[in-house]
């Protein structure tokens, strides 16, 4: 067992003083590992906050399959810009407001969700104009600069007419409040936003594609390993990297899951590192279950 911790980030190295159970808990509950593609995406979002207010605010749409890490990036962005108290105005400023697109959205349901998030739920019979005015007033007062919407593909569950209305609403909010929009969704969401030509023109598109056998993917795995509190350095050859890619279908969530699972085994059996042979032997849980059944 080595005593050096140069293979780890400072946070992971600090965890080495924890008992086994503590380290296992830390692995199971980890929320955020910074990898280059996530950093690039966050940097782009950051630029939106710095963009001067005006008509036609730039917006970003981020597409990727389920499990590619969209919501994790969204939460990170939101958490890095928490509400803060503005002494001058005496108001809690919220530069980043994050919501989830309601399922089968219409104008009423959309504003209903937005107002609940803003802490101003409306009576069920409130008319849409009132809801719209309330949302505009509150968002202006708390200084929203970026409205982030996750699960934006839910728009396409609506009828053609409902879809147009929701897209109009988004464009209206962006214009009126001079805010940027950030939309996250699975690939079908392209179709949803594509339904409004003016809106589409304003969106820069970022695609979080499945991981492939290249440097980006290797850096992802290295980033995860550096954040994994094992006492010994893990060295994986291309063969193991390829096996992980194959088992996980290149989906970020699965890659985290397999590395977490092997790391927990390595703590429990005292090896304290991930090796080619542990990757080779690792079987996805569902396969094991099927073998037992
Ligand atoms: N940067 C990260 N740091 C730590 N864990 C991550 C990270 N990105 C993804 N994960 C892991 O992958 C899981 C799935 O990620 P996430 O929920 O962000 O995907 P998604 O793209 O929003 O999927 P869906 O379209 O199904 O909502 C997370 O719960 C987490 O376990
Ligand atoms: Mg998600």
> Which percentage of the chain shows pLDDT scores above 70?
96
pLDDT at 288 > cutoff 50:
no
Which pLDDT score, from 0 to 100, does residue 151 have? 97
Which pLDDT score, from 0 to 100, does residue 173 have? 97
- What's the pTM? 0.93
Least confident of 98-107, 156-165, 277-286: 277-286
Confidence of residue 194 (pLDDT cuts 50, 70, 90): confident
Q: How many residues does this entry show for the chain?
A: 293
> Which percentage of the chain shows pLDDT scores above 90?
82
Residue pLDDT, tens place only, 56-98: 899 999 999 999 999 999 999 999 999 999 898 888 999 999 9
Which pLDDT score, from 0 to 100, does residue 289 have? 45
Q: Residue of the nearest CA to atom 29 in ligand 1?
A: 253
Among the atoms of ligand 1, which is closest to the Cα of residue 64? 21
What fold does the segment set 36-208 form as a domain?
A: Rossmann fold (3.40.50)
For the chain, the three-class secondary structure string (H helix, E strand, C coil) is CCCCCCCCCHHHHHHCCCCHHHHHHHHHCCCCCCCHHHHHHHHHHHHHHHCCCCCCCCEEEEEECCCCCHHHHHHHHHHHCCCEEECCCCEEECCEEEEECCCCCCHHHHHHHHHHHCCCCCCCCCCHHHHHHHHHHHHHHCCCCEEEEECHHHHHHCCHHHHHHHHHHHHHHHHHHCCEEEEEECCCHHHHHHCCHHHHHHEEEEEECCCCCCHHHHHHHHHHHHCCCCCCCCCCCHHHHHHHHHHHCCCHHHHHHHHHHHHHHHHHCCCCCCCHHHHHHCCCHHHHHHHHC
Task: Look over the chain and give the mean of its residue pLDDT values, rounded to a whole number.
Answer: 93
Q: Residue of the nearest CA to atom 25 in ligand 1?
A: 66
Which pLDDT score, from 0 to 100, does residue 94 have? 96
Mean pLDDT of 103-129: 91
Residue pLDDT, tens place only, 261-280: 999 999 999 999 999 999 99
**186 CB within 6 A, ligand 1:** yes
Mean pLDDT of 228-247: 96
**185 CB within 6 A, ligand 1:** no
**66 CB within 6 A, ligand 1:** yes
Which pLDDT score, from 0 to 100, does residue 123 have? 84
Domain spans of the chain, in order of start:
10-30+227-292, 36-208
Which pLDDT score, from 0 to 100, does residue 30 have? 86
- Counting ligands in written order, which one lies closest to the CA of residue 73? 1
Tell me, in angstroms, the distance from the centre of ligand 1 to residue 128's CA. Answer: 35
């Amino acid at each position: 067992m080595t005593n050096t911790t140069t293979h780890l980030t400072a946070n992971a190295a600090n965890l080495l003083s924890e008992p086994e159970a503590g380290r296992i808990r830390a692995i199971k509950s980890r929320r955020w590992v910074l990898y280059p593609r996530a950093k690039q995406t966050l940097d782009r979002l950051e630029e939106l906050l710095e963009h001067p207010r005006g008509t036609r605010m730039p917006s970003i749409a981020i597409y990727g399959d389920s499990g590619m890490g969209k919501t994790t990036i969204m939460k990170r962005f939101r958490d890095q810009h928490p509400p803060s108290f503005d002494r001058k105005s005496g108001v809690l400023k919220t530069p980043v407001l994050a919501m989830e697109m309601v399922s089968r959205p219409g104008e009423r349901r959309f504003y209903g969700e937005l107002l609940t998030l803003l802490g101003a739920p409306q009576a069920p019979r409130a008319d849409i104009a009132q809801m719209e005015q309330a949302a505009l007033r509150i968002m202006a007062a708390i200084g929203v600069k970026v409205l982030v919407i996750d699960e934006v593909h839910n728009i396409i569950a609506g009828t053609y007419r409902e879809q147009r209305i929701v897209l109009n609403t988004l464009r209206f909010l962006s214009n009126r409040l001079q805010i940027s929009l950030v939309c996250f969704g699975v690939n079908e969401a392209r179709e949803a936003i594509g339904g409004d030509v003016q809106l589409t023109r304003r969106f820069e598109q970022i695609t979080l594609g499945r991981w492939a056998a290249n440097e980006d993917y290797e850096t992802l795995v290295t980033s995860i390993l550096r954040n994994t509190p094992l006492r010994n350095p893990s060295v994986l050859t291309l063969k193991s990297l390829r096996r992980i890619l194959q088992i996980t279908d290149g989906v970020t969530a699965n890659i985290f899951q397999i590395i977490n699972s092997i790391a927990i085994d390595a703590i429990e059996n005292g090896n304290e590192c991930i090796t080619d042979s542990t990757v080779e032997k690792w079987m996805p849980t569902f396969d094991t279950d099927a073998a037992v059944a």
